Structure 1
Amino acid sequence: MTQPAQSETRVQVTGFDQLDGWDTDDHAAAMAVFRNTCHDLNEPDWRALCAFAAQNPEPRTFFELLFRPVLIEDGKDGLFTGYFEPELDGSRQQTPRFRYPVYSMPPEARVTRPWLTRRDILDGDTMSGRGLEIAWVDDPVELFFLQIQGSGRIRLPDGTFLRVGYEGSNGHDYSSIGAELVRRGTYTAHQVSADVIKSWVRRNPDTGRELLYHNDSYVFFREVSEVPADRGPLGAMNRSITTMRSIAVDPSFVPLGAPVWIEKDGKLPLRRLMIAQDTGSAIKGAQRADVFFGTGDKAGRAAGRLRDPGRMYVLLPIQRAYAMLPESAI
């Protein structure tokens, strides 16, 4: 990870006895998910830990013996949200019903940063006639939310699925259309959810289209149908992520592949060891995480309701954990 400036962060190394609920978690479930991406960690200390993990040690002892929980704060309150893998109806061919394209990334968008805005891409002809369409779907609002989630499955007319994953973006910052509706006074913050936004855009097609343009960010996809249907979508580490055990984080604070202890408050408190295996354009900050809820509408409804405070501790190899402390704290 990119080490943040010490003047901007506060780092505290603590013990496992300070983690609320640690004793009662399913450490074996977390260990299984940790192993899925552990071999992709290249630093010597991580490689040594992963080699030991492959020998099937007792999970709780493994974490307690070789890691230390690290609380990293950047002055912003902790915030947990949820994400999921949506399912859309679509086709590999354009039809009167399926007319909204899911695009792969044009080469020039990789070079010019930022590239065209969402409005430029959708209202212009830059993408036309280039064979960049992976598929077409029947709902532009669902396609917008597919871009927010970063991956999804498209149900084809013959009942099979085409799976797509994040390939890249146009380089513009993500802007929340939910926050924009709150700013306009359309809704209050506690009223906003994905379903509320979708309903509003569909009831107001013209102003709804303009609302979607408020977010200049545009996501391009690649086909990843080689991932089996019983596995989760690919995360930022190019490995399948796991329902309620994988989270998206800001990699400038949390190294991808690291275990992270979650203490989420709110209506349904959550105390669980998860693995940082994904990122997201809206996930910025030391105490910011997105919990993966799974695939489909039920997962989507649960993910859309989550917007809770809390805190999280990154579990780091012991020497790495203490190396993060300022000299005055050692």
Structure 2
Amino acid sequence: MRQLLIFIITIYIFTGCSVKEYQKYDDISKASLEKVNFYDIEDFYNDDLDYAFEVFKKACTRSKRYEMFKEVCLKADDENNARDFFISNFEAYKLIDNKGSDEGVITGYYEPLLHGSLTKDDTYKYPIYKTPKDMITVDLSNVYPELKKYRLRGKLKGNKLVPYEDRAQLEKHANENLEPICYVDDKFALFLLHIQGSGKVKLTDGTILNVGYANQNGRRYKSVGKYMLKNGFIDRNSASIQGMKAYFDKNPDKIDEILNHNESYVFFRESKQGATGALGVELTSKRNLAVDRSYIPLGMPVFISTSNPVTKEDINKLMVAADVGGAIKGEIRADFFWGFGDKAFEYAGKMKEKGKLYILIPKQVLN
């Protein structure tokens, strides 16, 4: 035992190794947190912090309703120096996963453009549905405060609450409780709209209809990409949205079988603005993230260190958590919002990069 102790001390002296201490603030994040200095965050001071500050203030229009951000959002109204604002009012913490790693997966999403009509015909036959009239959403937080971030969704059958229909059932048996907003001409494009959560529909008369996430059927999200890869429909070189689309273009008879693997189904509402996240503000291209709220609260400034999936250039910038997603689960996990258009589609579809996340926690909630 004495020899083992001497060995450990020797290793410590000559390597400088030490056990890192992580902090826990479970009411803010379920992840382990490593406190860091702003100077230790690569390119923090090289970022356009003025722009990041404007995005944060826009988020404050909704995030100020949360106790965590009330005070700091009030200060933002009176502050002109973005750099001083972030340094003076926040502490930076790097997210650490349950294996002690500071690196996770960063994917991308975008705002798609679909082509549609207000009436159904042989071309425009795939409906974008509103929230079903018979859907019931149960907030469990009054009875179980620890479940405040979760919702139970279903419908009444007799006097029992039962799960709502899955994707296959909804597409096969539309009922009187389902009301379409419009119809589109591409089933896979509609599926991508479900994944992205919001988008634009160009109608036959040329007008643009914005649609945004309204609700979900309560079924767990399952990755169609992983399913296609596992079953040999695509290989690792074509494991992207573009690769999936190419497969369905060649094999349209397989689309129902494959897409129905994901039982989750999303319902929409008409919107007066473009892509809007779960926070309730219009998303800003390359400055907003979708996150797992168990680890990153909505409205939280998040510095991301990752890379561009096409150019492989570094991406080091301060963003704001403003959205969520069924596939975004885990301590170091985020979806990077690329915006609207062909470039956004290319980057989002190909993005699956390693990355680090730093959350900026308001100082007053740490005291």
TM-score, length-scaled by structure 2 = 0.81
Aligned residue identity for 2:169: D
1:179 Cα deviation after fit: 0.6
1:155 pairs, out of 189, 197, 202, with 202
Aligned residue identity for 1:72: L
1:14 Cα deviation after fit: 1.3
1:43 Cα deviation after fit: 4.4
1:291 pairs, out of 336, 346, 351, with 336
Greater shift after overlay, 293-302 or 251-260? 293-302
What is aligned with 1:281? 326
**Are positions 1:86 and 2:103 aligned together?**
no
* Distance verdict in 2 for CA 1:81–1:91, change over 3 Å: same
Q: Counterparts in 2 of 1:150-299, with a 5 A limit?
A: 150-224=197-271, 226-227=272-273, 232-265=274-307, 267-299=312-344
Greater shift after overlay, 192-201 or 71-80? 71-80
Counterpart CA distance in 1 for 2:267 and 2:275 is: 15
SS in 2 for 1:221: strand
Counterpart CA distance in 1 for 2:41 and 2:222 is: 34
Greater shift after overlay, 260-269 or 70-79? 70-79
1:208 Cα deviation after fit: 2.4
1:187 Cα deviation after fit: 3.0
Counterpart CA distance in 2 for 1:318 and 1:183 is: 46
What is aligned with 1:49? 72
What is aligned with 2:143? none
1:183 Cα deviation after fit: 0.9
Counterpart CA distance in 1 for 2:364 and 2:231 is: 49
What is aligned with 2:163? 114
Counterpart CA distance in 2 for 1:62 and 1:192 is: 42
Counterpart CA distance in 1 for 2:325 and 2:314 is: 23
**Are positions 1:146 and 2:168 aligned together?**
no
What is aligned with 2:88? 65
SS in 2 for 1:47: helix
Aligned residue identity for 1:249: V
Counterpart CA distance in 1 for 2:90 and 2:78 is: 17
1:185 Cα deviation after fit: 2.9
1:32 Cα deviation after fit: 0.5
What is aligned with 2:49? 27
1:202 Cα deviation after fit: 2.4
1:160 Cα deviation after fit: 0.9
1:274 Cα deviation after fit: 0.2
What is aligned with 1:326? none
1:105 Cα deviation after fit: 1.1
Aligned residue identity for 2:349: G
Counterpart CA distance in 1 for 2:337 and 2:66 is: 26
Identity %: 36
1:72 Cα deviation after fit: 2.4
Aligned residue identity for 1:153: K
1:44 Cα deviation after fit: 4.7
TM-score, length-scaled by structure 1 = 0.89
2:126 pairs, out of 76, 90, 100, with 100
Alignment RMSD (CA, Å): 2.0
Counterpart CA distance in 2 for 1:253 and 1:192 is: 27
Residue deviations 1:285-308 (CA, integer Å, cap 9, x gap): 121011111112321111111110
Give the unaligned 5+ runs of structure 1. 324-330
SS in 1 for 2:298: coil
1:142 Cα deviation after fit: 0.5
Counterpart CA distance in 1 for 2:177 and 2:265 is: 18
Q: Which has the higher strand share?
A: 2
Aligned residue identity for 1:57: N
When Rg is computed on C-alpha atoms for both structures, the one with the higher figure is: 2
Counterpart CA distance in 1 for 2:133 and 2:177 is: 11
Aligned residue identity for 1:122: E
* Distance verdict in 2 for CA 1:130–1:44, change over 3 Å: closer
What is aligned with 2:141? none
1:221 Cα deviation after fit: 0.5
Residue deviations 1:74-112 (CA, integer Å, cap 9, x gap): 336411111011000001111221111110111333341
Counterpart CA distance in 1 for 2:163 and 2:236 is: 30
